[in-house]
């Protein structure tokens, strides 16, 4: 059987509905809210600020420290065990690496920029949503960045290349599923995150990455709009 129509009725290269807001957490230096479909991410950026313990300080450049966390009630019914886990450690690490190519930390030696990503609700694509929220929050915090980062997952469901898988598609049982979360930096034309679950044919992978690139570009447009509207609103 071939996957002919998507479970939620979207086109194969259509993203889920996106909502983005900036400046949602007053205490933070910069913050953002990003929702794609049923996946919701908040990101708060604190810093640059003093870094302790002292042995972690780098006299050449500042440190970017990302922290990804799913809230206990964020899954689909099952309680997500709170606290750090192997999975959240990994995602924190890849988020960090996805954002590092754009942020310029050389101006802040010996200091740290903390990024906290919290997910109150998840439905697949949470690391991508987290990266998008973090990208906006970093910009909002006035951090020097070469570009914004757009992240989205592409994949193959039962032989069909699709964009932005939701949980039902990730868990599709009637055929093979490959899920490829991707973060894309347009001005460098580079992927800063590329992971995969499942198996994929070479030509499908190329197709999926092209699709993800377009999706990420669209997401970046949404991010730009959100960042600008924060100031447009109060301008009037």
Partner 1 sequence: MDKTNLKINDKDVVVPGEILAEGMDYLPSQGTYRKDNHVIASMLGLARIEGKVIKIIPLSGNYLPKRGDVIVGKVADINFSGWSVETNSAYAAMLSMKDATSDYIRRGEDLTKYFNIGDYIVTKIYNVTSQNLIDLTMKGPGLRKLTTGRIMKVASPKVPRIIGKQGSMVSMIKKATNCNIIVGQNGVVWIKGLNPEDELITVETIKKIEDESHVSGLTGIIQKFLESKGRKAVLETVTEETTGEA
| Least distance (Å) between residue 207 CB and partner 1 | 26
Contact flag: residue 227 with partner 1 (CB under 8 A): yes
Contact flag: residue 217 with partner 1 (CB under 8 A): no
Q: State the distance between the two ends of the chain, measured CA to CA, in whole angstroms.
A: 56
Pick from 5, 11, 49, 87: which binds partner 1 (CB under 8 A)?
49
| Least distance (Å) between residue 112 CB and partner 1 | 8
Pick from 172, 186, 207, 214: which binds partner 1 (CB under 8 A)?
186
Contact flag: residue 190 with partner 1 (CB under 8 A): no
Determine the Cα angle at 131 with ends 127 and 154, to 5°.
55
DSSP assignment string, 41-66: EEEEEEEEEE-SSGGG--SSS-EEEE
How many chain residues touch partner 1 (CB under 8 A)? 38
User: Which segments of the chain are extended strands (E)?
Assistant: 18-22, 30-36, 39-50, 63-70, 111-121, 150-157, 160-163, 177-185, 190-194
The binding site for partner 1 (CB under 8 A) comprises 29-30, 47-51, 59, 62, 102, 104, 107-112, 139-148, 186-187, 220, 223-224, 227-228, 231-232, 234-235
């Amino acid at each position: 059987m071939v996957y002919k129509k998507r479970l939620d009725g979207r086109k194969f290269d259509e993203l889920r509905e996106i909502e983005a807001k900036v400046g949602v957490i007053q205490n933070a230096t910069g913050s953002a809210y990003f929702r794609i479909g049923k996946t919701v991410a908040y990101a708060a950026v604190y810093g640059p600020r003093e870094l302790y313990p002292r042995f972690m300080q780098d006299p050449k450049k500042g440190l970017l420290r990302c922290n990804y966390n799913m809230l206990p009630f964020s899954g689909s019914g099952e309680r997500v065990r709170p606290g750090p886990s192997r999975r959240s450690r990994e995602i924190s690490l890849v988020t960090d690496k996805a954002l590092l190519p754009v942020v310029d930390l050389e101006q802040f030696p010996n200091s740290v920029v903390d990024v906290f990503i919290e997910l109150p609700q998840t439905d697949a694509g949470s690391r991508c949503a987290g990266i998008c929220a973090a990208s906006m929050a970093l910009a909002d915090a006035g951090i020097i960045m070469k570009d914004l980062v757009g992240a989205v997952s592409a994949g193959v469901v039962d032989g069909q290349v699709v964009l932005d898988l939701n949980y039902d598609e990730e868990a599709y049982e009637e055929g093979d599923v490959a899920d490829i979360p991707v973060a894309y930096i347009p001005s460098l034309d580079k992927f800063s995150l590329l992971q995969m679950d499942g198996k994929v044919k070479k030509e499908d992978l190329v197709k999926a990455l092209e699709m993800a690139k377009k999706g990420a570009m669209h997401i970046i447009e949404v991010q730009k709009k959100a960042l600008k509207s924060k100031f447009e609103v109060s301008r009037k």
